[in-house]
Amino acid sequence: MKLQEQISAGQLSVVFFIFLTGSSIINIPQPLIMFARNGSWVSLLISCSISLICLSCILYMHNKFPDLTFIEYSRVTVGNWLTFLLAIPFISFQIHMTSGIVLDIGLFMTTTMMRETPLYVFNTLIFLLIYVTVRMGIEVIARMFVFLTAMVMVYVFIILILASLKYVPSYLVPVMPYGIKPVLLGAYFSFGFPYVEIFLFSMLLPFAVKKQNKRLTRGLFIALVLNGLCLVTVTLCTLMTYGPIAADRRFSMFQIARTIELYDIIQRIESLIGISLIVASYMKATIVLFVLNLTFTHLLKLQDDRLLILPLTAICCFLTFNTYARGEAYWANIISVIHPLWGTFGYMVPVLLVMIVYLIKSKWKNSIAASK
């Protein structure tokens, strides 16, 4: 996990893509359709467009500090004390994300595929796997995730194609039956999950090979656009499959897979997509835990960059049990209401604040140099 480790621009772009797509491809459609109805795909286009601006901000700061992570260039820009203050919401949201992603995996398994198995079994096993993966380092993670991402996306699109016989395009109209307000609410929700989370990559960009900066910029923008297209496609397919009851279909990709039945030969393949979606969520949780450990390592200036992986994994694991004990309604409220706001203040505000301070300082230095 040392910064001497490097990955190619293409590998980081794939990691970026699966980070945005991982848990969102199964969790986004149902609550988004509940908020925006048939205009949910418009909400995604709005939030994805805003995220392009956010990505530009991250890349701008990376170009100014190519060898530094967010914590490091924040310390250079605003000093130690402000960096510690900004790191509090930054770290808190990372812990929330890690535990939340794994909790979603457990809830998915216990409500769809293995209902008699206790949730703690899935959560504990997933966290053990995440712990081992994070210890391997970013190079191993990037190489492994390229293959797993390809597998997941192939399975997803096979499911969408096989389910096309069930699509009813007339379910897509009217686009905005209740006006623009539900669409804007959906845009707010979808920006908070997953697009505000791209600010997490301000910690990972220094791992990219320095000679591939142009390829990195192009690759990240392509990955972001492809993610938007994937989420729009899955949302449209959910609407065309279930129409008015789409907002009630939790884990929509899994529900779409359950409708597939061709000539008594191809049927009951929802387990295949279920495994793929679990793998995608596991990859996203691994990335977040890796960044969480990296954040603490740079914030506390630790020499051993693997020292905190185990305790951080244990904290996130116990947090999933605590959250689940409060009930699924409590968790649903956090995801739909608190999560977008928390992400904005935890990720976007600290990074943008540091960027604004840097721009003000640069302008001030330039004005002094010009006056001389």
Quote the DSSP letter at residue 262: E
Instruction: Please report the sign of the dihedral spanned by the C-alpha atoms of residue 56, residue 57, residue 58, residue 59.
Output: positive
CA atoms within 13 Å, Cβ hemisphere of 243: 8
Per the structure, the complete domain to which residue 185 belongs is given by 9-346
Q: Kindly tell me the burial class for residue 336, based on how many C-beta atoms sit within 10 Å of its own C-beta (0-12, 13-18, 19 or more).
A: middle
Q: Decide if 353 is inside a domain.
A: no
* Domains in the chain, number: 1
Q: Decide if 354 is inside a domain.
A: no
Pairwise CA distance, residues 259 & 163, whole Å: 7
Q: Decide if 355 is inside a domain.
A: no
Q: Decide if 268 is inside a domain.
A: yes
We report the CATH number of the domain holding residue 268 as 1.20.1740.10
Q: Decide if 114 is inside a domain.
A: yes
Q: Decide if 42 is inside a domain.
A: yes
Asked if 194 contacts 6 with a C-beta cutoff of 8 angstroms, the reply is no
Q: Decide if 360 is inside a domain.
A: no
Pairwise CA distance, residues 291 & 204, whole Å: 7
**First-residue to last-residue Cα distance in the chain:** 45
Tens place of pLDDT per residue across the chain (372 aa):
444 689 999 999 999 999 999 889 888 999 999 999 999 999 999 999 999 999 999 999 999 999 999 999 999 999 999 999 999 999 999 999 999 999 999 999 988 888 888 999 999 999 999 999 999 999 999 999 999 999 999 989 989 998 898 899 999 998 898 899 999 999 999 999 999 999 999 999 999 988 888 999 999 999 999 999 999 999 999 999 999 899 988 888 888 988 887 766 666 778 888 888 899 999 999 999 999 999 999 999 999 899 999 999 999 999 999 998 888 888 888 888 899 999 999 999 999 999 999 999 998 988 877 776
Q: Give which of 288, 215, 156 is closest to 12, Cα–Cα.
A: 215
Q: Decide if 366 is inside a domain.
A: no
